[in-house]
Amino acid sequence: MKTHQLPLERIDSHRWRIPRHGGMKVDGLVFASDAMMQTIRGDQSLQQVVNVAHLPGIVGHSIAMPDIHWGYGFPIGGVAAFDARDGVISPGGIGYDINCGVRLLGSGLSRHDVQGRMREVAESLFRNIPSGVGARQQTVRLSHADLQGVLKRGAGWAVSQGYGAPRDLEHTEESGCLAGAEPQYVSQRALERGRPQLGSIGSGNHFVEVDYVAEIYDEQVAGALGLFKDQLAITIHTGSRGLGYQVCDDSIKTMQRAAQQYGIAIPDRQLCCAPLNSPPAREYIGAMYSAANFAFANRQLITHTVRETFAEVLQRSARDLRIEVIYDVCHNIGKFETHTVEGQARRLCVHRKGATRALAPGHPQLPAVYRDLGQPVLIPGDMGRYSYVLIGTRQGGEETFASSCHGAGRLMSRTQAKKSARGRPIVQELEAQGIYVRSAGRATLMEEIPEAYKDVRDVVDVVHGAGISRKVVQLRPLGVIKG
């Protein structure tokens, strides 16, 4: 069925329903404005929402966030929860960049403290943090035992080696480590790809960005998070690099065989999956959690380099700079959680692909410092506009399995963006706005031009208006390091 022929019902100004039909086991639920829906209809992402609703054991709805766009199997911006006993796990619902995520660092600095120094800051960050396709680490060289420690312990391994402090872990989703990682299920090829890449950002839409707090929408929550007007903040967006990609690639082949073995009918072979209680699923989860822990450790090492770089440029001690982790969130992940479905608490495997966990106030998995607030939700935009910090809500906990959007969402393919940017002085355009950009190559900048993305303000307004997350602050960029 073509996307424009799908049955689609407008629920309210922020929600749309795709009624259950054909082999769908649940309805589709899409968060979008009227204007966004016109764009969303232009690709196959809504059909992917329908396809996901066919999978065994799915509960609630097949959900799409307003940054939805076409992806492998699941749409990017897709959320689906599967019963832990009767459901499945699908690598297409987690993605190739396992635990691609965002870490926000606050500081004791004002943007005025770097006035006239941002070019130097950007140059130093670019020099100190490896970036680009195949970028190889400079921070630490991993022995086999070290790499096993990374895969089992995540950010905790990095802190134990002196790359940060225990407080960093307290402000990281799952304390920076997913229990249940089984490195023995990670292929040798994945290990080889990951070993030289710890502490690097890679390419594409990954970045390290120096921002300032431009707008505050909720003074009380912002204060509790340690954010204040004009504060200098640093955003780190990267994941598990080549290791995670290889884990996904390896698992696709296994899951295609598993779907046939267990007689699972799927409308798209990219939705290959296995029952959660089967050996193929357990092996994939063990490898996927290992890759997720690599990503946590990766962002932890980059945090260490950011702290050292600011101390070097500003000639101030790290303690004086007070560069602290506000929070660190996963995007592409599948996790076992307990949620209420039709009045009953059920253990579920929640797939979030290009979506962010957004726990409600009082949730026991939140660190004590944020338990009364809800989970910080970090939503980066494009390199020329703004990003947002939101907070989880009870509405989101009830309606979306505590999930929110994860970014702006692409409007143009990378090929289209390159065509649009051909001949343009992108670096100079951004410098004219007071944003200093460094990149390993011009191709990445062309692919990542601001207009290649939806305006993240529109995306955030939908999740805020729908009540599934609430706006706290807006951040604006001063300097961007790209792959």
Q: Which residues pair with 236 in a beta bridge?
A: 103, 208
Burial class (CB in 10 A: 0-12, 13-18, 19+), 371: middle
What is the rounded distance in angstroms from the CA atom of residue 138 to the CA atom of residue 258? 39
Phi and psi based region of residue 8 (left: phi greater than 0; alpha: psi -120 to 50; beta: remaining)? beta
Identify the pLDDT of residue 336.
Answer: 97
Contact by Cβ (8 Å): 73, 256: no
Task: Extract long-range pairs of 67-70: CB within 8 Å, 24+ residues apart.
Answer: 67/354, 67/405, 67/406, 67/407, 67/408, 67/409, 67/454, 67/456, 67/459, 68/30, 68/32, 68/40, 68/409, 69/40, 69/43, 69/45, 69/409, 69/410, 70/43, 70/44, 70/45
Reduced to 3 states, what is the DSSP secondary structure of residue 178? Answer: coil
Identify the pLDDT of residue 132.
Answer: 62
Pairing of strands 28-31, 58-69: parallel
What is the rounded distance in angstroms from the CA atom of residue 258 to the CA atom of residue 71? 22
Reduced to 3 states, what is the DSSP secondary structure of residue 209? Answer: strand
Residue 21 catalytic? no
Q: How far apart are the first and last CA of the chain?
A: 38
**Domain edges within the chain:** 3-482
CA atoms within 13 Å, Cβ hemisphere of 187: 16
Exactly one of 61, 331, 351, 406 is catalytic; name it: 406
Identify the pLDDT of residue 133.
Answer: 59
Which ranges of 171-317 does DSSP label H, i.e. alpha helix?
188-194, 219-225, 241-261, 279-314
Residue type, 14: H
Contact by Cβ (8 Å): 160, 168: no
Token pair 């989880």 in the structure block, residue: 392
**Nearest 10 degrees: CA dihedral of 411, 468, 332, 273?**
-100
Structure tokens that stand for 234 in this block: 């640093």
Question: Edge-to-edge strands of the sheet including 58-69?
Answer: 9-10, 15-18, 28-31, 58-69, 76-83, 344-353, 333-341
Instruction: Give pTM, 2 decimals.
Output: 0.96
Reduced to 3 states, what is the DSSP secondary structure of residue 83? Answer: strand
What is the rounded distance in angstroms from the CA atom of residue 68 to the CA atom of residue 47? 12
What percent of the residues of the chain are helix, what percent strand, and what percent coil, each to the nearest 5?
Answer: 40, 25, 35
**Nearest 10 degrees: CA dihedral of 394, 397, 402, 407?**
-40
Q: Which residues pair with 28 in a beta bridge?
A: 18, 62
What is the rounded distance in angstroms from the CA atom of residue 430 to the CA atom of residue 436? 7
Phi and psi based region of residue 473 (left: phi greater than 0; alpha: psi -120 to 50; beta: remaining)? beta
Q: Please list the pLDDT of the chain residue by residue as tens digits (483 residues).
A: 455 578 999 999 999 999 999 999 999 999 999 999 999 998 999 999 999 999 999 999 999 999 999 999 999 999 999 999 999 999 999 999 999 999 999 999 999 999 999 999 999 999 999 886 555 445 678 999 999 999 999 999 999 999 999 999 999 999 999 999 999 999 999 999 999 999 999 887 899 999 999 999 999 999 999 999 999 999 999 999 999 999 999 999 999 999 999 999 999 999 999 999 999 999 999 999 999 999 999 999 999 999 999 999 999 998 899 999 999 999 999 999 999 998 999 999 999 999 999 999 999 999 999 999 999 999 999 888 999 999 999 999 999 999 999 998 887 888 888 888 787 888 898 889 999 999 877 888 888 888 888 899 999 999 999 999 999 999 999 999 987
Pairing of strands 324-330, 76-83: unpaired
Structure tokens that stand for 305 in this block: 């380099």
Angle between the N-to-C axes of helices 144-153 and 279-314, in degrees from 0 to 180, rounded to the nearest 10: 100
What is the rounded distance in angstroms from the CA atom of residue 427 to the CA atom of residue 479? 11
Phi and psi based region of residue 174 (left: phi greater than 0; alpha: psi -120 to 50; beta: remaining)? left
Identify the pLDDT of residue 417.
Answer: 82
Identify the pLDDT of residue 137.
Answer: 47
| DSSP annotation of 5 | G
What is the rounded distance in angstroms from the CA atom of residue 403 to the CA atom of residue 29? 13
What is the rounded distance in angstroms from the CA atom of residue 145 to the CA atom of residue 333? 25
What is the rounded distance in angstroms from the CA atom of residue 151 to the CA atom of residue 180? 10
Query: Looking at the domain covering 3-482, what would its CATH class be?
Result: alpha beta
Identify the pLDDT of residue 134.
Answer: 54
Contact by Cβ (8 Å): 398, 340: yes
